[in-house]
Structure 1
Amino acid sequence: MDYTIGVDLGTTSTKVVLFDENSHVIATANHGYPLYRELPDMAEEDMNEIFQATQDGLMDVVRHIDFEAGDKLLAVSFSSAMHSLIAFDKDWNALTRVITWADTRAVKYTEELKSTGLGQEIYSKTGTPIHPMAPLSKLLWLKAEKPDIYANAAHYLGIKEYIFHRLFGANKMDISIASGTGLFNIFNLDWDEQALSVTGIDKSQLPEPVEPYEMETAMAEEYAKVIGIPADTPFVYGAGDGPLSNLGVNAIQPGVAAVTIGTSGAIRVVSDKPVIDPKGRTFTYALDKDHWVVGGPVNNGGDVFRWAKDNLFDAEKSTAALLNMDPYDLLTEIASKVPAGADGLLFHPYLGGERAPIWDANARGSFFGLTHEHGRAHMVRSVLEGIIFNIYMVSLALEEVVGDLHNIQATGGFARSPLWRQMAADIFEQPVTVPEAFESGALAATVVAKKALGIMDNLEDIAELVGDSNTYQPNPENYEVYRELAPIFIRLSRQFSPEYENIANFQRKYNHNKK
Structure 2
Amino acid sequence: MECIITIELGTNGVRVFAYDLHGCIIGSMKGHYPTFHAEPDHSEQDPEQVFITTLYVLKNILNEYIHPKKYKVASICFCASMHSVLAVDKHGNPIGNAITWADNRAKKEAQELRNSQLGKKLYELTGTPIHPMSPLVKIAWIRNSDTERFRLTSKFLSIKSYVIHQLTGEYMIDYSIASATGLLNIHTVHWEEDALQYAGITANQLAVLAPVFTTAGKLKNAYQQSLRLSAETKIIIGSSDGCLATLGDGFIKGEEKASITIEDSGAVRVMGPNILKDEQMRFFNYLLTDNCYVSGGPTNNGGNIFEWFTRQFGEFTNPFDMENSMQQLMAEAANVPTGSDGLLFLPYLLGERAPIWNANARGAYFGLNIKHERSHFIRATIEGILYEIYSIGKMLSEQRTINSLSVNGSFGTIPFCSQLIADIFSKPVQVRQQFHSVSFGAYLLSATEMGIYTSLDDAAPLVETPNVFKPNKQHHVIYADYFCIFEKLSTKLFDEFEAIGNLQQKHVHSIKHL
Would you say same fold, with TM above 0.5? yes
Partner of 2:256: 255
Partner of 1:353: 351
Structure 1: 5+ residue stretches without partners? none
Instruction: Please give the secondary structure, in 1, of the residue aligned with 2:148.
Output: helix
- Letter paired with 1:283: F
Instruction: Please give the secondary structure, in 1, of the residue aligned with 2:180.
Output: coil
Q: Contact 1:407 / 1:432 at 8 angstroms: preserved in 2? A: yes
Partner of 1:409: 406
Partner of 1:275: 276
Q: Is 1:445 equivalent to 2:447 in the alignment?
A: no
Partner of 1:387: 385
Following superposition of structure 1 onto structure 2, how do residues 253-402 of structure 1 map, counting pairs within 5 Å?
A: 253-313=254-314, 316-318=315-317, 326-401=324-399
* CA apart distance, 1:288: 1.5
Q: Contact 1:320 / 1:326 at 8 angstroms: preserved in 2? A: no
Q: Contact 1:102 / 1:133 at 8 angstroms: preserved in 2? A: yes
- Letter paired with 2:283: T
Q: Contact 2:84 / 2:98 at 8 angstroms: preserved in 1? A: yes
- Letter paired with 2:149: I
Q: Is 1:225 equivalent to 2:222 in the alignment?
A: no
CA RMSD of aligned residues (A): 1.8
Instruction: Please give the secondary structure, in 2, of the residue aligned with 1:400.
Output: coil
Partner of 1:455: 452
Instruction: Please give the secondary structure, in 1, of the residue aligned with 2:338.
Output: coil
Counterpart-to-counterpart distance in 2, 1:321 and 1:40: 25
Describe the superposition over 1:358-406 as per-residue Cα deviations: whole angstroms up to 9, x where unpaired: 00100001000000111111111011111111111111221223x2211
Following superposition of structure 1 onto structure 2, how do residues 227-242 of structure 1 map, counting pairs within 5 Å?
A: 227-242=227-242
Structure 2: 5+ residue stretches without partners? none
Instruction: Please give the secondary structure, in 2, of the residue aligned with 1:451.
Output: helix
* CA apart distance, 1:437: 5.1
Counterpart-to-counterpart distance in 2, 1:498 and 1:468: 46
Mean alpha-carbon deviation: is it higher for 465-474 or for 159-168? Answer: 465-474
The change in CA–CA distance for 1:347 and 1:67 in structure 2 (over 3 A counts) is closer
Q: Contact 1:62 / 1:229 at 8 angstroms: preserved in 2? A: no
Describe the superposition over 1:461-493 as per-residue Cα deviations: whole angstroms up to 9, x where unpaired: 344432341100101221111121111111111
**Which consecutive segments of 4 or more residues in structure 1 shift more than 4 A?**
64-70, 319-322, 512-515
* CA apart distance, 1:513: 4.7
Partner of 1:90: 90
Q: Contact 1:187 / 1:274 at 8 angstroms: preserved in 2? A: no
TM-score where L is the length of structure 2? 0.96
Counterpart-to-counterpart distance in 2, 1:325 and 1:108: 38
Q: Contact 2:406 / 2:429 at 8 angstroms: preserved in 1? A: yes
The change in CA–CA distance for 1:151 and 1:485 in structure 2 (over 3 A counts) is same
TM-score where L is the length of structure 1? 0.96
Partner of 1:215: 215
Counterpart-to-counterpart distance in 1, 2:398 and 2:495: 25
Instruction: Please give the secondary structure, in 2, of the residue aligned with 1:41.
Output: coil
Counterpart-to-counterpart distance in 2, 1:26 and 1:86: 33
Counterpart-to-counterpart distance in 2, 1:135 and 1:255: 31
1:427 corresponds to which of 424, 442, 462: 424
Partner of 2:120: 120
Counterpart-to-counterpart distance in 1, 2:458 and 2:57: 27
Counterpart-to-counterpart distance in 2, 1:61 and 1:406: 39
Q: Is 1:149 equivalent to 2:177 in the alignment?
A: no
* CA apart distance, 1:11: 0.5
- Letter paired with 1:363: A
Mean alpha-carbon deviation: is it higher for 233-242 or for 438-447? Answer: 438-447
Q: Contact 1:437 / 1:467 at 8 angstroms: preserved in 2? A: no
Q: Contact 2:263 / 2:409 at 8 angstroms: preserved in 1? A: yes
Q: Contact 1:435 / 1:466 at 8 angstroms: preserved in 2? A: no
Counterpart-to-counterpart distance in 2, 1:246 and 1:292: 11
- Letter paired with 1:445: A
- Letter paired with 2:464: G
Partner of 2:206: 206
- Percent identity for Structure 1 against Structure 2: 36
Instruction: Please give the secondary structure, in 2, of the residue aligned with 1:263.
Output: coil
* CA apart distance, 1:173: 0.6
Counterpart-to-counterpart distance in 1, 2:65 and 2:216: 21
Partner of 1:495: 492
Counterpart-to-counterpart distance in 2, 1:94 and 1:367: 41
Mean alpha-carbon deviation: is it higher for 428-437 or for 41-50? Answer: 428-437
* CA apart distance, 1:228: 2.4
Counterpart-to-counterpart distance in 1, 2:223 and 2:43: 29
Q: Contact 2:347 / 2:363 at 8 angstroms: preserved in 1? A: yes
Counterpart-to-counterpart distance in 2, 1:152 and 1:456: 45
Q: Contact 1:44 / 1:98 at 8 angstroms: preserved in 2? A: yes
Describe the superposition over 1:428-470 as per-residue Cα deviations: whole angstroms up to 9, x where unpaired: 0110100245211111112111112222112123444323411
Q: Contact 2:74 / 2:232 at 8 angstroms: preserved in 1? A: no
Q: Contact 1:436 / 1:468 at 8 angstroms: preserved in 2? A: no
- Letter paired with 2:109: Y
Describe the superposition over 1:94-125 as per-residue Cα deviations: whole angstroms up to 9, x where unpaired: 21311110111000111111222211110010
